[in-house]
Structure 1
Amino acid sequence: MQGEMSMSGVVGVVAEYNPFHNGHLYQLQQIRHSFPDDVIIVAMSGNFLQRGEPACLDKWTRARQSLINGADLVIELPVLACVQPADRFAEGAISLLVALGVNKLVFGAEHSTYDFKDFARKVAQVHGEFHKYNESYAQSFQKAVTQAIGHPVDQPNDLLGLAYAKANYRLGEPVALYPIQRIETSYHDQSLHQGKNIASASAIRKNFLEVPASQQQLAPYLPQSSLDDLLAGPFLSWTDFWPLLRYQILSSGLSELRQVYGMTEGIEYRIQDLTQRSPINLKFDEWVKEVKTKRFTYTHLSRLAVAILLNISKEEVNAYNQHPYIRLLGFDLHGQKQLSRIKKNCSLPIYSRISQEDKKGQLAVDYRAGKIYQLFNGREQDLKRAPIVL
């Protein structure tokens, strides 16, 4: 890890843990090695993820895994943060972590030697050519980044690292950045490599779903407790939620779809028309490919699908951005002490439980998302759920 420091403090990590695997364990171990006296706080996506998919295991299971394997405090990144593009998602995540006292941010990167802080300053004013309709915003942005920095920054974790660095710059650089080199596998690698003990989360999910008979072969790539949770299930994916998404689209008018967060440039016409005309056996991944245009990336469309599924409006996202909050999922003794230190001076409301009133107010969308996830998970996600204590 770059720039190791002996000064104690609080380390923040932004994560999905979908599922928690040996690569995540390696990251937490590296943090503990470099900063043995620091509290480790994880800001983890809830039951729906920023990359536009349902979590394979619920937020409580994944929070417990991170606590078992080295985290001290786990908070939920609200779904209203997770449906936003990478830059806004990153700023939301770092804002929550800073409110909890974080002064270091650790993240995985394909190129850990990059000076992300310097890159952020160089591209701070880069926004891409929004009106170039023969390419996506991501392509336009990448061209502008390459021009500003002198080379591409186009690998998935590097891009997230740059988003974190830009958010940190906009917030006045309250945290020091510490990239960790991603080892053994790339983010998009769909294969399990024999003799290795790290595989990508996407490879683990793919093999778990497609080759049920070989699920025990995932053992080298996961902590045993994480494998046990996968096998216990329920393991969810877009396959489960696709009928609900399809129903939402087919039962909504264009004016209703237009109110969904992320619905821009008239894409609602294409979404409704193609969904109405699609064969009954069409799968979610096939639907995304049908809807895809040069202007919209697969990830953008997947996030939009989550927003449609959960009926998330632009007004609800704007309200969250103006009034963010912290939702506790779990903590150990060190995490509890950190909470005690910052609670009196924390600038954001901290929720440890959701009451009947909360579910109608600030946490209404998280509650709604939890109830929809519960349809397939079978477990209450919010009411009467207290933070996990280790």
Structure 2
Amino acid sequence: MKGYGGKALSETTIHRILASELCVGRMTYNVTTKRLQGRTIKNPESAWARSQAFEPIVPPAQFRKAQDRLAVANRPWDKEKILASLNRLLDRNGHLSQRLLNSTEGAPSADTVDRHFGSLCAAYAAAGYDPTTRMFFGNNGRYWSEASVIKGLQQLHATTGRVSNRLIERSPDLPCPRHIRLRFGSLANALRKAGLPAPNHSEIQRDGWKRRKDGGGDEYILGVRWSDAELLQALRRLHGKHGYVTQNLLDWDEDTPGAYYFVKRFGSFTRAKALAKLPLETHSQIMLGACRRKREGKTIRRQRRHPGQCPKLGYRTDNLLLGLKRLVEREGAISARLINDDPDLPWSATVAHHFGKLSKAYRLLGLVRLEGKPARFGLPRR
């Protein structure tokens, strides 16, 4: 059943429907009293005024059963009653948990326990239960001992030469990364206990860059392979055509990768010009040449492709949108992870910085949020 605007009914709305005497066709008055700006006071049921208005929607016997269950669920709780209920649950099940409290009929909900004791841990302590003694369970309810997790990490490192959250998620011999963090405090602590290296963030990034370079990913720019010789030849072609080469000129030219790729491939733009055997001007010569071209009206300025584009970026908007479109057509959906896994696209953070945010790039492509996948966008249904 759906409510207003096609949205699912809330818990409060369902409770009001179940408690309403309109279900049995009765109009009920004088249920509450409120004088001026005072608080609302619920009147005793003997003071209510009822009148039969229409035929019952549900059988009266079924409505009375619902009221009996609501009365049990709405009974007042205090600390003594809660502790007694917790002790009964502990004797019957051997443990306490939020799911157990919420699913047991006649027991206080987890929110009720938290409201009276300040936290579930405080209530557990008052009931004499230590939740840390319970065994750890991970994926599919399987029990994972500390030794089994350490052994799985060692096997994964021996197979791949490294350990990452993504590799752990794909490994059938390990629980999810969140389980490992809860068990050991952090993934680094787990790696140290397993006798494995625990690299910091910078070392992880450098290793990722090295693997991408060794795999030939750096030679591909938006799906087109550019060797070092072809990049240097492109520099010489631009210099022969315009008489100079600048980073802005590279970003403007549609047949040449942006300046970012030259810096990434050769370490610096100056080194790329030196390898191409082009004249290396001093800063003063570069500025004088720019001023001269400005006076002559020959300055080539980089234009924004759309109003929200950030200036001075190494990626062209049209090429980025083309790469994103190819990705969504191939995968049927698009997300930050899919962008990161695509060798023909830059990192998702770079795309977000270019457009302001990923959702803006998705809107430019006409993508919509997919139902049932809140973090995924895709092509609209036809």
TM-score bucket of the superposed structures, by smaller chain: under 0.3
TM-score when normalising by structure 1: 0.19
Between structure 1 and structure 2, the one with the greater Rg is: 2
Which one has a larger percent helix, Structure 1 or Structure 2?
2
Higher relative contact order (CA 8 A, sep 6+): 1
Which one has a larger percent strand, Structure 1 or Structure 2?
1
